[in-house]
Amino acid sequence: MEKTQNSKLKTHNLKVGIIGSGTMGIGIAQVASNAGCEVFLYDANAAQTEKSLSGLKKTLNKLTEKGKLTAEKANEVFNNIKPCTDISGLKDSDLVIEAIIENKEIKTKVFGELESFVSKECIIGSNTSSISITSLSSELKNPERFIGIHFFNPAPLMPLVEVIPGLLTDKDVPQNIYDLMKSWGKTPVFAKDIPGFIVNRIARPFYGEALRIVEENIATPQEVDEVMRTIGNFKMGPFELMDLIGIDVNFSVTQTVYKDYFFDPKYKPSLLQQRMAEAKLLGRKTGKGFYDYTETGSGKQEALPSTINQQPTSNQQAIFMRILSMLINEGVEAKRLKIATDDDLELAMQKGVNYPKGLLAWGKEIGYEKISETLQNLYDDYQEERYRQSPLLKKM
């Protein structure tokens, strides 16, 4: 991609608008403010903005107490963020990042309102985790200024940002945003505008195959998590991570990817996850999910110590290889489709979801033949397209 000649977004006087003051919105606001930007924070729910700013104040105070932030810097970060009660408050923004509910109709309606207030030069970005950037931009009067800027939760801590141009995005905008994210201390990667982009596409089997294993009574959520932490050295197992993300959020992303890939069986959502969402067992935010976080529950806030011996059982090893092989297959397919460069594919999975290794390197280490054999055995057992191999896998 060509480097833009417009250095407007690289100055410290940048005015950034944030739409949505939930967890992601306030997190992105903190990142932008910390980088010296003037931030305008808008949410249709003013009470949510007040709650989030109160939470941010507490977070900044804790960072100050721990010596990670000076009191002066903490005050600067907080005071740089100006709450707005109306979307017109974003009118002077050079860049606006939307971080609201994952619903295309709601997002496009907000973008339509926003366009009537901001200048033609203002870049509009969406923090969507799975909705097509081209699709979101199609209703805009100036779709060439629209781009995906996907942060990961929690935004102040997670380094990765996926930069996703749509088919209508001006050629200079992606590099401009890439450079800006670097100046904010982030690790940006370019991604194609495909369902799920890099991370949320490749990571689907980490959740989907784990859910399938539990649905088949092969193992419990706790046992699957233990296998992935201990054998795979993942920081969190899939069920712990779903509880952290929010089971409803994770389910919604899976539904979007499944639908946008024209119901490809590889991305088929889980009935168990749907039932959990219907029961409002959403994980940490509701107190109960696959684990119980209430006072009467186990209070599972950290990974439990492993009971797996140095020699895992054949069932434990099979669970690990089943999930990992599905992940590596997705990584290889992403490489085949040139969704991103090999380096960015590896970087994205390590920096976006804390995988212990890049999946292409992991496949090479284990041996692609072994991965292929595992998938072939699964296909023979289930006779499902879910387990089809990437055409590139057998050539690796």
Catalytic (active-site) positions = 129, 150, 162, 200
Q: Are 268 and 204 in contact (CB under 8 A)?
A: no
Q: Phi, psi (5° rounding) for residue 151? A: -85, 165
Q: Phi, psi (5° rounding) for residue 189? A: -135, 145
CA distances from 309 to 34, 131, 200, 222, 235 (A): 45, 42, 32, 16, 18
Interatomic CA distance for residues 171 and 145, integer angstroms: 10
Interatomic CA distance for residues 101 and 291, integer angstroms: 25
DSSP state of 149: E
Q: Can you read off the two tokens belonging to residue 31?
A: 């990142």
Greatest alpha-carbon span in the chain: 63
Q: Which amino acid is at 223?
A: E
Closest CA to 325 of 257, 258, 375, 271: 375
DSSP state of 288: B
Q: Are 71 and 48 in contact (CB under 8 A)?
A: no
Burial call 191-202: b when 16+ CB within 10 Å, e when fewer: bebbbbbbbbbb
Q: Phi, psi (5° rounding) for residue 148? A: -85, 130
Query: H/E element holding 200?
Result: helix 199-202
Q: Phi, psi (5° rounding) for residue 165? A: -75, 145
Q: Reply yes or no: is the peptide bond before residue 269 cis, omega within 30 of 0.
A: no
